[in-house]
Amino acid sequence: MMIKEKKWQILVALALGTIMVPINTSIVNVALPFIAVGFNSNVLNVEWVITSYLISLLGLVLFFGSLGDKIGHEKVYLSGLLFFIFTSLLCSLSPSLLYLNIFRALQGIGGAMMISVSLGMVKNAFPSYEWGKSLGIYAMVIATGLAIGPAIGGILIGLFGWQSIFLANLPIGITSFCICLFVLERKEGVAVKWDVLGIILQFITLFSTILFLNQLNNPTISGSSKILLGSMIAVFLGLFIWREKTAESPLLDLSLFSNHKFSAFNLALFFNYMSLYMIIFALPFYIQKVLHYGPFLTGLVLTVSPLLMMIIAPFSGFSSDRIGSRPLAFFGSLISALAFFLMTKLTIFSSIYIVTFLMIVLGVGTAIFQAPNNRAIMASIPNDTSGQASSILVTMRNLGMIFAVSIGSLLISTTIDYNILNSPILYNLESYDFTQGLHLIALLGSGLSLIMAILSLWGSKHLKEVKPLVKDII
């Protein structure tokens, strides 16, 4: 097939465009103080620059994944790429914070269109015996985007102002689009029956979940209000499941989850991102407020894990093509569990070198786990549902990161008052109290990693491969 002959060109084109999505997830964090000053606003208001993007991205990724399976992944991706470029320009020209929030929400729609189908496109471009290698490189791209976003943002803002972080998307996006026009084959789609009610219910459920998690630790919100919001999430989730079971053309094919391997490895991916980003959330406070180091060194320590993931993920994916997904996912989970457990031994006197070493161990475990895990997910479903599978994987990844911040902050709040945590530096008993909260996060991360290991074994026991060329060693 022609598409197999262009597999590497397709991977390069998709990587170049897709990397903008994770970059724009992390790059804005650096710009928030400058945006607040530029629009004479406060931190609470400018946080919506991030939240509006994530809500659109997460709320619509399932829809565009399903749409791609019907009308063609290439059409959805190219349309999303063009829209992402256009909305990036709008973000840079925003005359007020309100407009910036609106344009960021629109930018998230473009990101959802790209990220929902790109993984499935990579899978379809490569023969089955190279899925591990190609998906490993794709995982490296996502890790690279998340890792370099803050660094690129800091450089661009320092030289050209916060608007430049959005303008930087233009040359990257245009280059990717031009390459895609030459290498991607636009296929004829089928008539689409819109599951409008399913789309609305799914969006409300995810939006309510994000809102609930953001407000979980807000002391100004009453307990009854939180219970009411949690109940509303349960109701809308139930309605969404009912709708998808009865709809003639459902937004989400729930039968995918009857595949034990698909379900087990998706749940393992959720736990992986949740445990990883809980510690990434807590470590800056520990390094700066407890160990009394500056932000520059903090940034270097936090970059260790993503950098190792960039290096190891392709080799891990390549190895999974040779020996199967199960042993690597299992082994990576155990390494991560060990790293988290050792973090429970950190004290208020620990060396920064010890912290860095533990992040190295965690980065190695995560890198060994993720690429084989992604391969196992995508190898367990037929090609005509790869868009939905890709979008579910993206949803699990982003939900894991969102849950991480809420659960992490909740655990820390059980050991130290957040008013005390606002102090620039912690001493003595306050440092000890925060470190106890860090231990709780690390202990939970270790437990989740052990569950990941069990899921890796359990999922493969129920393995039903779609392609005979893909074979897991069991």
> Torsion-angle region of residue 173: left (phi > 0), alpha (psi -120 to 50) or beta?
alpha
CATH architecture for segment(s) 1-192: Up-down Bundle (1.20)
Question: Could you tell me the pLDDT band of residue 242, with boundaries at 50, 70 and 90?
Answer: very high
Given CATH 1.20.1250.20, say whether it is the number of domain 254-465: yes
Spatial distance between the Cα atoms of 126 and 11, rounded to a whole number of angstroms: 9
Spatial distance between the Cα atoms of 380 and 374, rounded to a whole number of angstroms: 10
Cβ-proximal residues to 417 (8 Å cutoff; 6+ apart), any chain: none
DSSP letters for 40-69? T--HHHHTHHHHHHHHHHHHHHHHHHHHHH
Lowest mean pLDDT among 239-243, 401-405, 433-437: 401-405
Classify burial at 104, counting beta carbons within 10 Å of its beta carbon; exposed 0-12, middle 13-18, buried 19 or more: buried
Q: What is the pLDDT of residues 379-391, one digit of tens each?
A: 777 766 777 777 8
Q: Which residue has the higher pLDDT, 343 or 45?
A: 343
pLDDT of residue 463 exceeding 50: no
Query: Which pLDDT score, from 0 to 100, does residue 471 have?
Result: 41
Q: Which two tokens stand for residue 45?
A: 């208001």
Q: Which two tokens stand for residue 369?
A: 């786990």
Cβ-proximal residues to 313 (8 Å cutoff; 6+ apart), any chain: 136, 137, 139, 140, 143, 367, 370, 371
Cβ-proximal residues to 125 (8 Å cutoff; 6+ apart), any chain: 3, 4, 6, 7, 10, 11, 134
Question: Could you tell me the pLDDT band of residue 351, with boundaries at 50, 70 and 90?
Answer: very high
pLDDT of residue 192 exceeding 70: no
Spatial distance between the Cα atoms of 184 and 122, rounded to a whole number of angstroms: 11
pLDDT of residue 181 exceeding 80: yes
Q: Which two tokens stand for residue 290?
A: 């407890």
Q: What is the pLDDT of residues 163-179, one digit of tens each?
A: 888 998 899 889 888 88
What's the mean pLDDT when you consider all of the chain?
Answer: 82
Query: Which pLDDT score, from 0 to 100, does residue 44 have?
Result: 58
Q: What phi and psi values does residue 62 have, to the nearest 5 degrees?
A: -65, -40
Q: CB 196: neighbour CB atoms within 10 A?
A: 10
Q: Which two tokens stand for residue 330?
A: 């299992």
Q: What is the pLDDT of residues 2-58, one digit of tens each?
A: 455 678 888 888 888 888 888 877 777 667 778 878 888 765 577 778 778 888 888
